[in-house]
């Protein structure tokens, strides 16, 4: 029984990786930087995206894929910024996969996009294993979570290119050791680029914006 389950899992991931490679080739040919945003539920992905698009939406041609199990609430917030958005509802699945990504790409005019944000389903486990064909994963964790998240969910931080610590405006009111959180993350992945930001106050967002825009220009 155990052996057959492992075999099925491998087959599923192999097929996903094949589709991810096709997505990656398609995105590269279109000159699109695809950034997969991953985090626990409530880390602030949508709030950060909305502020980002409102503030630098004229600096590049953005689009967004919104992943949630149910509702299009976040997609409506993105739509209000004027940026093209496609909603994926996974129903019972705890992550997006490359097949879902391929269908979402079909809804866009890829020639009109420079940077594609993928807001994955809130989960620090499953999305770490599923390649969508993105250029990079960017992990978010908020100061309302435990600073040991990188140690508890190491694979997510290991496969990410950057870490964004969000809601730093709440630091005076929560018991969160931001230095320890950063150290834990860098222990897992010494190459992580770390940003400490607040989508509410705007603190340190310019550095994050530069990272996003320079990535688009480097393609």
Instruction: Please state the separation of Cα 113 from the chain's center in Å.
Output: 17
Cβ atoms < 10 Å from Cβ of 215: 17
Least confident of 5-9, 27-31, 43-47, 74-78: 5-9
Q: Are strands 85-89 and 33-39 parallel, antiparallel or unpaired?
A: unpaired
Domains of the chain: 2-217 (3.40.50.300)
Q: How confident is the model at residue 9 (pLDDT cuts 50, 70, 90)?
A: low
pTM for this one? 0.92
Cα separation, 102 vs 180, in Å, equals 38
- Average pLDDT of the segment spanning 167-195: 98
Contact yes or no for 117/49 (Cβ under 8 A): yes
Q: What average pLDDT score do residues 123-136 get?
A: 96
- The structure tokens 């969000």 sit at 166
**Tens of pLDDT, residues 73-101:** 999 999 999 999 999 999 989 999 999 99
pLDDT tens for 134-174 read: 999 999 999 999 999 999 999 999 999 999 999 999 999 99
Return phi, psi of residue 147, to 5°.
-70, -10
């Amino acid at each position: 029984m155990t052996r057959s389950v492992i075999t099925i899992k491998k087959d599923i991931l192999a097929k996903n990786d094949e589709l991810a490679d096709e997505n990656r080739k398609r995105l590269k040919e279109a000159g699109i930087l695809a950034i997969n945003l991953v985090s626990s539920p409530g880390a602030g992905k949508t709030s950060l995206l909305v502020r980002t698009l409102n503030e630098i939406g004229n600096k590049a041609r953005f689009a967004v894929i919104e992943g949630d199990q149910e509702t299009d609430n976040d997609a409506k917030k993105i739509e209000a910024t004027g940026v093209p958005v496609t909603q994926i509802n996974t129903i019972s699945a705890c992550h997006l996969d490359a097949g879902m990504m391929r269908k979402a790409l079909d809804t866009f005019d890829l020639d009109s996009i420079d940077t594609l944000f993928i807001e994955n389903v809130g989960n620090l486990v499953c999305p770490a294993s599923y390649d969508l064909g993105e250029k990079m994963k960017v992990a978010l964790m908020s100061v309302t979570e435990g600073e040991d998240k990188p140690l508890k969910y190491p694979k997510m931080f290991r496969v990410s290119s950057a870490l964004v610590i969000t809601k730093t405006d709440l630091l005076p009111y929560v018991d969160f050791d931001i230095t320890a959180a950063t150290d834990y993350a860098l222990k897992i992945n010494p190459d992580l680029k770390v940003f400490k930001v607040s989508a509410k106050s705007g603190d340190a967002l310019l550095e994050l914006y530069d990272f996003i825009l320079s990535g688009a220009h480097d393609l």
